Amino acid sequence: MKLSDRRFQSSFVFLAIFLLLALFASQAASSAQTKNSPANKGAGAFATGRYRNLFAEAGHSEQEISTKIDAAFQQLFHGDPDTQSVVFFVGKNANGPLAYLTDWANHDARTEGMSYGMMIAVQMNKKEEFDALWNWTKTYMYISDPSHPSYGYFSWSCKPDGTPNEETAAPDGEEYFVMALYFAANRWGNGEGIYNYKAQADELLTTMRHREEKTGPTRFGPRTVGAEVNEEAKMIRFVPVINRADFTDPSYHLPAFYELWARWGPVADRDFWAQAATVSRTFFVKTADPKTGLAPAYANFDGTPRVTRFSQSSIFGYDSWRTASNWSVDWSWWRASPEEQELSNRIQAFFLSQGLSKYGDQYALDGKQVAARHSTGLVATNAVASLAATNPSAKEFVKALWDSPVPSGQQRYYDGMLYLMSMLHCSGRFRILKPQ
């Protein structure tokens, strides 16, 4: 063999070894990335684009479903102001029309309701209503003073004239604002100023995680306010007020949204939101009662009920209605946690045992009834649990929602928002609005 041949052969061997090492390194990096990446299950709606239509499965036509949902929107957003509507248009400012969505029974506007209204509007392609609600929110609820301890957040409750009833945030409102804004950016594109939806969502989501602790006066006394997430627990807080006890609200956990933030949100925080989604799925199993499936209104980060001065804190209360809906939508979109199916089966079995047409709306976690009102809002979220449930009786919960009238009167705010969002979920019309 010639010297030149040996040199060529040696170079070839070194090249082959180099390529093999590069391949192994690439596979190792890919494995590490996959370990910390968002869920990418192939069977969920995110991957397939297919959403279950529980009403169609029950035999209702698309026209019937559209008529029913459109009528509910018209009633709750544009109906009789004394008995039906929860949305009120109140003039204009430099950014355009203004509208607020009110808790009729308590005579206030809440970030919870404003963000729900925006989510319903973007899902139903109602840009005028969306922009008017967002404009009122930014005009009256947003805390823009850099010296204020809640700077960058929204006052969770305001009077209809915009005067704050509180100057701290309730993170469930911020969560829905962020998600609704990303969906708006993807559906309609971005405008200028407050209507640059993606920029607004990115800014708020960054604030939610990274807001440094700030102490200062409010009209309700001094506060120290920090991030809306507990970094160590990787969970959303009940409130970001640092000088109060630190705990969470199970109904604030939205892993279906976190997965999208892990893809669309600020790049530096994407891994955090992917981890938060996984943590919340595990948390649902810990916090839901192993026999009844009922989750407490407030919980410690280990899932145990949190006892506070509020009467509903450690029971299945008003906030708790949303928890089963949250884990069921997560299953529908991502199929990342089969335990969510078991949870839906469990909670539906409990309410079936209480009587489908008469169960109450508040319970101790062991199943002892606390309040007897049969609330449309709970009927609605129990129907959404059918997206994950596998028991044959799941269709009965869907029928119960279909047969329920659109909420009106004194309790039309919370019942109505949950009713309309649940109608969208159960019809397969509450969708992941992806970037174009």
**Positions marked catalytic:** 112, 319
Q: Are 415 and 370 in contact (CB under 8 A)?
A: no
CA 265 to CA 257: how far, in whole Å? 11
Q: Are 425 and 53 in contact (CB under 8 A)?
A: no
What count of residues does the chain have? 436
CA 238 to CA 251: how far, in whole Å? 10
Estimate to the nearest angstrom the gap between the alpha carbon of 406 and the chain centroid: 22
Q: Are 280 and 255 in contact (CB under 8 A)?
A: yes
Written as one string, the DSSP assignment of 315-351 is SB-TTTHHHHHHHHHHHHHH---THHHHHHHHHHHHH
The strand ranges marked E within 16-107 are 87-93, 96-103
Q: Are 294 and 363 in contact (CB under 8 A)?
A: yes
Joined together, the tokens standing for residue 129 give 């209503």
* Residue matched to tokens 């120290």: 224
Joined together, the tokens standing for residue 389 give 């449930």
Joined together, the tokens standing for residue 309 give 């001065």
DSSP H or E segment with residue 214: strand 214-216
The amino acid at 287: T
Written as one string, the DSSP assignment of 84-131 is T--EEEEEEETTEEEEEEEETTTTEEEHHHHHHHHHHHHHTT-HHHHH
Q: Are 413 and 105 in contact (CB under 8 A)?
A: yes
- SS3 of residue 135 by DSSP: helix
Q: Are 202 and 267 in contact (CB under 8 A)?
A: no
Which residues does 186 contact at the CB level (< 8 Å), separation at least 6? 433, 434, 435, 436
CA 436 to CA 431: how far, in whole Å? 14
